[in-house]
Amino acid sequence: MADILHILWMNGGLSCDGESVALTAATQPSIEDIVQGALPGLPEVALHWPFFDYDSGPSFIEWYHRAERGELEPFVLIVEGSVADETNKDDGYWSGFGNDPATGQPVTAGEWLDRLAPRAAAVMAVGTCATYGGIHAMAGNPTGAMGVPDHLGWDWRSRAGLPIVCVPGCPTHPDNLTEVLLYLLYQLAGQAPMIPLDEFLRPRWLFEATVHTGCDRAAYYDQSEFASGYGSPTCLVKVGCWGQVVRCNVAKRGWINGVGGCPNVGGICIACTMPGFPDKFMPFMDEPVAAAADDGPGYGSLVRTLRGFTVRVSTGPPR
Ligand code: SF4
Ligand code: SF4
């Protein structure tokens, strides 16, 4: 096992820096736990992250040039932001990260990925922009933005044999982000088996269940009680919630310290962890066709009636 595991965080793609902000909110584990050696069994970790590093400008970018020269191995490359197609115009560039000392010209996000990925022990794409293109890949966007798997190839493997690991979300859930990073660090330290991923390269244990299965409002769905506007505690499917078909653990996990989670606190699920987001799931606020619920005098009404009966009987005076 190496004495130091480096983590290079590249936020030069097209993004709002939402994952960098999310990282500051993680608690299980926190990024401080990871970098300060609070977790047993990990080697020393050196995080090179623009939000956090004391170095700035050329001194900060030098870590990336060192990684390219093979001086920092092993390292995990974390990519935030989508990768623009830099070939679709005559001049200029869409997004870059520092300058090339030889030419003085910006190094684009895609170029960094091509330089660093072959040397990385693992590549982690964080946020829906970096994983599947996200907001910048919407129809009509001129950047030709794409996620890391579309840029490197879905079958790409690191020199340690790992596939690209995707942690989508707009933004990524803070603890999903640090939990997956921690898993990869343990795997690279030889203390965890190959990370299990689904067909969209997401860690299975986080993205197996739908939002609906963990939603506080699911009992209302069962008995066909649907909100027609905001401010109601009932199910939000008729005001546009996609939770029944979207795989995401946020409703179950809560947002920070177990509190919150989109539909639990009144926000519809807009499918932000899914490939094809946002175009495939628009227009928002309309009842999703794929998730249409039976509001008729059938199953839901029967469940509601029987539950009401059971509640009255079980909470009535003892016989
Ligand atoms: S609000 Fe959404 S996730 Fe919650 S029960 Fe309704 S459809 Fe399911
Ligand atoms: S519940 Fe839906 S909108 Fe909220 S984070 Fe998960 S996928 Fe995104």
The reply to whether 170 sits in an annotated binding site is yes
Read off the pLDDT band of 230 (50, 70, 90).
Answer: confident
> How confident is the prediction for the chain on average, in pLDDT?
92
b (16+ CB within 10 A) / e for 260-280: ebbbbeeebbbbbbbbebbee
CB of 185 sitting under 6 A from ligand 1 = no
Residues 97 and 196 in one domain: yes
Tally of domains in the chain: 2
Q: What is the pLDDT of residue 114?
A: 97
Residues 165 and 231 in one domain: no
Read off the pLDDT band of 293 (50, 70, 90).
Answer: low
CATH code of the domain in which 289 resides: 4.10.480.10
Average pLDDT over residues 15-40: 95
Ligand 2 mean position to 33 CA, how many Å? Answer: 26
Q: At which of 149, 180, 205 does a domain end?
A: 205
Average pLDDT over residues 176-199: 97
Report the distance separating Cα 171 and Cα 207, nearest Å.
Answer: 15
Q: At which of 205, 240, 261 does a domain end?
A: 205
Q: What is the pLDDT of residue 122?
A: 98
Q: What is the pLDDT of residue 295?
A: 57
Distances (CA, A) of 11 to 8, 18, 56, 83, 217: 10, 10, 14, 10, 36
Read off the pLDDT band of 312 (50, 70, 90).
Answer: confident
- The amino acid present at 46, given as its one-letter code, is A
CB of 250 sitting under 6 A from ligand 1 = no
**What radius of gyration, in Å, describes the C-alpha atoms of the chain?**
22
Atom of ligand 2 nearest to the CA of 246: 7
Which residue matches tokens 């509190």? 259
Report the distance separating Cα 276 and Cα 281, nearest Å.
Answer: 8
Average pLDDT over residues 259-270: 94
Q: Which of 111, 112, 152 is nearest to 131 (CA)?
A: 152
Q: What is the pLDDT of residue 251?
A: 96
Residues 34 and 159 in one domain: yes
What are the tens digits of pLDDT across the range 148-186? Answer: 999 999 999 999 999 999 999 999 999 999 999 999 999
Report the distance separating Cα 269 and Cα 288, nearest Å.
Answer: 11
Average pLDDT over residues 179-203: 97
Atom of ligand 1 nearest to the CA of 269: 2
CB of 248 sitting under 6 A from ligand 2 = yes
Read off the pLDDT band of 296 (50, 70, 90).
Answer: low
CB of 250 sitting under 6 A from ligand 2 = yes
pLDDT at position 7 over 70: yes
Distances (CA, A) of 223 to 71, 232, 297: 61, 15, 10
Going along the chain, which residue ranges are E strands? 4-10, 44-48, 75-80, 96-99, 106-108, 122-126, 165-167
Q: Under a CB-based contact definition with an 8 Å cutoff, are residues 181 and 221 in contact?
A: no
Average pLDDT over residues 217-227: 93
Residues 40 and 180 in one domain: yes
For residue 50, give the DSSP letter: T
Residues 199 and 228 in one domain: no
Residues 137 and 152 in one domain: yes
Residues 284 and 193 in one domain: no
Ligand 2 mean position to 230 CA, how many Å? Answer: 17
Q: What is the pLDDT of residue 1?
A: 58
Average pLDDT over residues 82-96: 95
Q: What is the pLDDT of residue 288?
A: 81
b (16+ CB within 10 A) / e for 220-231: bbebbbbbeeee
pLDDT at position 190 over 90: yes
Residues 170 and 260 in one domain: no
Ligand with smallest separation from the Cα of 293? 1
Which residue matches tokens 């029967």? 302
Domain hosting 278: range is 212-315
CB of 149 sitting under 6 A from ligand 1 = no
Read off the pLDDT band of 316 (50, 70, 90).
Answer: low
Residues 42 and 135 in one domain: yes
What are the tens digits of pLDDT across the range 115-135? Answer: 999 999 999 999 999 999 999
Read off the pLDDT band of 284 (50, 70, 90).
Answer: confident
Q: What is the pLDDT of residue 43?
A: 87
Q: Which of 39, 45, 48 is nearest to 77 (CA)?
A: 48
Report the distance separating Cα 287 and Cα 265, nearest Å.
Answer: 19
Instruction: Name which residue leads in pLDDT, 287 or 21.
Output: 21
The angle that helices 57-68 and 109-116 make with each other, rounded to 10 degrees, is 40
Instruction: Name which residue leads in pLDDT, 302 or 5.
Output: 5
Percent of the chain at pLDDT above 90?
Answer: 80
Residues 118 and 245 in one domain: no
Q: Could you tell me the two tokens for 178?
A: 């640090």
Average pLDDT over residues 98-107: 92
Residues 151 and 194 in one domain: yes
CATH code of the domain in which 180 resides: 3.40.50.700
pLDDT at position 319 over 70: no
b (16+ CB within 10 A) / e for 182-211: bbbbbbbeeeeeebebeebbbbeebbeebb
Report the distance separating Cα 149 and Cα 212, nearest Å.
Answer: 28
Residues 190 and 54 in one domain: yes
CB-based contacts of 184, cutoff 8 Å, min separation 6: 76, 122, 124, 162, 165, 195
Q: Could you tell me the two tokens for 151?
A: 């840029």
Q: At which of 156, 174, 205 does a domain end?
A: 205
Report the distance separating Cα 28 and Cα 15, nearest Å.
Answer: 24
